[in-house]
Amino acid sequence: MKSKFISTNLDFLGFSASMLCAVHCMALPVLLAIGALSGLAWLEHPMVETVFIGLSFLIATWSLTRGYLSQHRHFTAIRMVVIGFVLLLLSRFVENEWEAILAGLGGVTIASAHWLNWRLCRKSESCIVKKI
């Protein structure tokens, strides 16, 4: 029961971090451009973005690997998170509006992978057996 609790919380944390990353990547450039958040320009610093991506990667690796190996054995969530991180990686190599679009899509894809992992873990037989 304890491992399910930790896994569920990691998926929630991963989902939240990935959605926060997506909002950060899509909204911050627009808000900084119009001057609404000019005092928060440090949020666009590459180190902040690197920390977001690094934490998302660590949480996703831990959570989705545990879900796959110990509970559901469905590879779809892992495929989704790989696609999300590829989109984030591609966003690092473009300089125009595509950077925000690719990074935002990557964040949403990673968040969706966490949601799917959580759903698969809840539906798996190993979870049902552990509840009884």
Q: Per residue in 20-30, pLDDT tens?
A: 777 777 776 66
How much is the pLDDT for 85?
94
> Of 17, 3, 123, which Cα lies nearest the Cα of 70?
3
Distance between alpha carbon 117 and the CA centroid of its chain, in Å? 12
Taken as a whole, the chain contains a residue count of 132
Q: Count how many domains the chain has.
A: 1
How much is the pLDDT for 130?
47
CA distances to 4, 27, 29, 55, 123 from 89, rounded to whole Å, are: 31, 19, 18, 14, 32
Q: Is 0.85 surpassed by the pTM of this model?
A: no
The pLDDT profile of the chain, 132 residues, written as one tens digit per residue, is: 445 545 557 777 888 788 777 777 777 666 666 665 566 666 667 788 788 788 889 988 888 888 888 878 888 999 999 999 999 899 889 988 888 889 889 988 998 998 898 888 888 765 544 443
Supply the range of the domain harboring residue 6: 2-131
